[in-house]
Amino acid sequence: MNYEALTTVIRRLALEAGDKIMEIYNSDDFAVKTKSDNSPVTEADEAADALISAGLRAAFPDIALVTEEQSDSHDITAKTFLIVDPLDGTKEFVNRRGDFTVNIALVEDGVPTRGVVYAPARERMFFTLADGSTVEEDGPFAKDAPGNLRKISVADSDNGALMVVASKSHRDQATDDYINKYAVKDSKSAGSSLKFCLVATGEADIYPRLGRTMEWDTAAGHAVLAGAGGQVVRFDDHTPLAYGKEGFANPFFIAYAPAVELKRG
What residues are designated binding site for Mg(2+)?
68, 85, 87-88, 217
User: Which residues line the annotated binding site?
Assistant: 68, 85, 87-90, 217
User: Which residues line the annotated binding site for substrate?
Assistant: 68, 87-90, 217
Contact 232, 255 (CB under 8 A): yes
**DSSP states of 3-19 as a string?**
HHHHHHHHHHHHHHHHH
Four-residue CA torsion sign, 182, 239, 207, 162: positive
Which residues lie closer than 8 Å to 151 by C-beta, 6 or more apart? 133, 134, 135
Within a 10 A sphere around the Cβ of 160, how many other Cβ atoms? 9
**CA torsion angle 187 190 196 197 (round to 10):** -100
Residue 140 sits at the vertex; the CA angle it makes with 137 and 141, to the nearest 5 degrees, is 65
Q: Which amino acid is at 215?
A: E
The runs of H, that is alpha helices, within the chain are: 3-25, 43-59, 90-94, 173-179, 194-200, 215-227
Contact 44, 93 (CB under 8 A): yes
Q: Which of 189, 178, 190, 180 is nearest to 238 (CA)?
A: 178
DSSP one-letter code for 87: E
